[in-house]
Chains A and B, each alone.
Chain A
Amino acid sequence: MRPYTEIYFPVVVQIIIAIAVAAGMVGGSFLLGKKVRNRVKDTPYESGMQPVGSARERFSVKFYLVAMIFILFDIEAMFLYPWAVVYRELKLFAFVEMLVFVVLILSGFFYIWKKGALDWAPESDKKTEPKPLPAEASIATILNRH
Chain B
Amino acid sequence: MFANYLPTGAEYFRLLPEMILTAAGTLIMVLEPLTGYRRKRFLGHLALAGLLAALWAAVVAYSSPGPAFNRLIVVDGFATFFRVLVIVVGILTVLSCWDFLARHKAESGEFYSLILFSVVGQCVMVSANELITLFIGLEVSSIATYVLAGYLRDDKRANEAALKYFLLGSFATAFLLYGVAWIYGVTGTTNLVDIRQILESRDVIHPILAVSTAAALMFVGFAFKVSAAPFQIWAPDVYQGAPTPVAAFMSAGPKAAGFAILLRVYLTAFGPIDQSWVPFVWTCALATMVIGNFAALAQNNVKRLLAYSSIAHAGYIMVAVATGTAPGAAAAMFYLAAYAFMNVGAFVVVSHISGRGERKVNIDDLAGLSSRQPLTAALFSVFLLSLIGVPLTGGFFGKFYIFKAAIDSQLYWLTILGLLTSAVAAYYYLRLIVVMYMRPAVDGEEELPPLGGGLKTALWASALGTLALGIFPSAVLNFAGASGAMLVR
Residue ranges of A at the interface with B (Cβ–Cβ < 8 Å) = 86, 89-90, 93, 104, 107-108, 110-111, 114-115
Contact = CB atoms under 8 A, between A and B. Distances in A.
Contacts of A86: 2-3
A93 B33 CA distance: 32
A89 B6 CA distance: 10
A104 B6 contact: no
Contact of A90 (B6, B26, B29, B34): B6
B26 A107 contact: yes
Nearest to A115: B33
B32 interface: yes
15 contacts: A86-B2, A86-B3, A89-B4, A90-B3, A90-B6, A93-B6, A104-B26, A107-B30, A110-B30, A111-B29, A111-B30, A111-B32, A111-B33, A114-B34, A115-B33
Interface in B21-63: 22, 26, 29-30, 32-34
Nearest to A104: B26
A89 to B, nearest CB: 4
Contacts of B3: 86, 89-90
Nearest to A86: B3
Contact of A114 (B4, B6, B22, B33): B33
Interface string B1-22: 0111010000000000000001
Contacts of A107: 26, 29-30
Given A111-B29, A111-B30, 14 more contacts: A86-B2, A86-B3, A89-B3, A89-B4, A90-B3, A90-B6, A104-B22, A104-B26, A107-B30, A108-B29, A111-B33, A114-B33, A114-B34, A115-B33
Indicate the member of A108, A110, A111 with the most B CB atoms within 10 Å: A111
A32 B91 CA distance: 65
B51 to A, nearest CB: 19
A107 B3 CA distance: 29
Contacts of A104: 22, 26
A103 to B, nearest CB: 8
Contacts of A89: 3-4
A110 B4 CA distance: 35
Contacts of A111: 29-30, 32-33
A89 B32 CA distance: 39
A93 B4 CA distance: 11
Contacts of B34: 114
Contacts of B32: 111
A60 to B, nearest CB: 18
Nearest to B23: A104
A86 B6 CA distance: 12
Which 9 pairs across A and B sit closest by C-beta, in order of nearness?
A114-B33, A89-B3, A107-B30, A107-B26, A111-B29, A86-B3, A115-B33, A93-B6, A110-B30
A68 to B, nearest CB: 13
A114 B33 CA distance: 6
A90 B26 CA distance: 27
A93 B29 CA distance: 27
Contacts of A114: 33-34
A104 B27 CA distance: 10
A47 B448 CA distance: 55
Indicate the member of B4, B22, B29 with the most A CB atoms within 10 Å: B29
Contacts of A108: 29
Nearest to A111: B29
A115 B32 CA distance: 9
